Amino acid sequence: MLGCQQALALEDIRSEGVGSAEEALARIGDNFAGIVISDIRLPGIDGLELLTRLKARDPSLPVVLITGHGDISMAVNAMRDGAYDFMEKPFSPERLVEVARRALEQRGLAREVWSLRRQLAGRSLLEGRIIGRSPAMQNLRALIANVADTSANVLIEGETGTGKELVARCLHDFSRRHTQQFVALNCGGLPESLFESEIFGHEANAFTGAGKRRIGKIEHAHNGTLFLDEVESMPLNLQIKLLRVLQERTLERLGSNQSLAVDCRVIAATKSDLDELSKASQFRSDLYYRLNVVTLELPPLRERREDILQLFEHFLQVSSLRFDRETPELDRQTLSTLMTHEWPGNVRELRNVAERYALGLPAFKKSGTNTASSSLDFAEAVETFEKNLLTDALQRSGGNLSQASQELGMAKTTLFDKVKKYGLG
């Protein structure tokens, strides 16, 4: 084994050696990007059984088998069962490197095709979860589809109520980790005295009151996703411990000296400017840079008013089904208020308004609505509503003006003028 690793290392091919098939199966997870080279004769599970189990997990995984002189017939059967190639002992380092390079190239191409297919499927599915036709939301969906199936840490920035946890769940659900745990922790919702135990876990009797072992959030998220909401609230003295876990991919429970290997993708969310906080020594800059590999910015609802009606109609339909009510029609006054309200609570507030409207209650409480400082008057609100109606009709008709004009009950020339007016062509 050592000789094979040295031969690969000389050609800049990184490898890791294990002593048994059982150990290999334990280390190869859903995100494994490499190949497997194994002897047929192993202690415990043999190479043929290892091949069968690996192929059941991932049919595209290249498995190369090493055979002795008397194992050729076994190797031929293994090829029929899906082995990528086999090498008969003794073999030269050049032969090993050649086979490894070819297998890695095939593996890379297969993963690239898989990723592209998932991105294409994800973009259409994301539209049903990340709702909005504004350029900002279109760009957000594209970024999610692009980075979801990577191991890169992600920092989500946005005001309260903009949907940061929804984005985090989408990143998890559209990744290969989707079959594993999505573990969420609100860093601002725990007292500092409990935070360390909650995130790192503890052994029995590690401190007063620790009657039994507790698995922490990081360990629970092994092979899955750890979502740290309001990460700006994490105590400074624990930020260095988290940084060490992210760097070394190991952790120690409180009261233990044993290091545990952990592999979790970290997604953090903040409503603050971590860059400014780090410059003011209120957040560790090294942790900020570790978390900030990819940044997703969620705009407040007031900056994407063209999405308000689409979101409201979605929440209204969902709420009506949940409350077993008929979906009410949108009246003129509510439409105007929807488009002129400042939405300090963002999408969360909009959902609450839709729920009240579905129940037949006033959508807005008088004390909570202030349209005097609105950036849109009623005429602008109506224009926005009209633009959205036209956009929907054009999308359903595939851009066919004749079909869209019939659906809208509008003359084709009038529709053409409005398309030009709103820049929809």
Mean pLDDT (the chain, rounded): 86
- Element housing 277 (H / E): helix 274-279
Helix (H, G, I), strand (E, B) or coil at 332: helix
Confidence (pTM): 0.65
pLDDT in tens, 26-51: 888 767 889 999 988 888 888 888 88
Residue pair 404/419 in contact (Cβ under 8 Å)? The answer is no
pLDDT in tens, 140-168: 999 999 999 898 999 999 999 999 999 99
pLDDT band with cut points at 50, 70 and 90 for residue 7: confident
Determine the pLDDT at residue 116.
60
Determine the pLDDT at residue 118.
61
pLDDT in tens, 77-98: 778 788 888 888 888 989 999 9
Highest mean pLDDT: which range of 335-339, 347-351, 376-380: 347-351
Residue 159 phi, psi dihedral angles, 5° rounding:
-65, 165
Determine the pLDDT at residue 366.
63
Report the pLDDT averaged over residues 386-396: 78
pLDDT in tens, 306-334: 899 889 999 999 999 999 999 998 887 88
User: Is a pLDDT exceeding 60 seen at residue 291?
Assistant: yes
Residue pair 214/187 in contact (Cβ under 8 Å)? The answer is no
Return the DSSP state at 151.
-
pLDDT in tens, 56-81: 888 889 999 888 766 667 777 778 78
How far, in Å, are 25, 51, 64, 248, 318 from residue 55 at the CA level?
A: 11, 6, 12, 30, 42
User: Is a pLDDT exceeding 50 seen at residue 375?
Assistant: no
Distance CA 67, CA 40 (A): 6
Sign of torsion over alpha carbons 111, 104, 152, 194: positive
35 Cα distance to chain centroid: 25
Q: Tokens 């959902």 correspond to what residue?
A: 351
More confident residue, 366 or 263: 263
Question: Which domains can be identified in the chain, with CATH numbers?
Answer: 2-115 (3.40.50.2300), 127-299 (3.40.50.300), 302-422 (no CATH)
| Helices and strands (H, E) in the chain, number of each type | 18, 10
User: Is a pLDDT exceeding 60 seen at residue 373?
Assistant: no
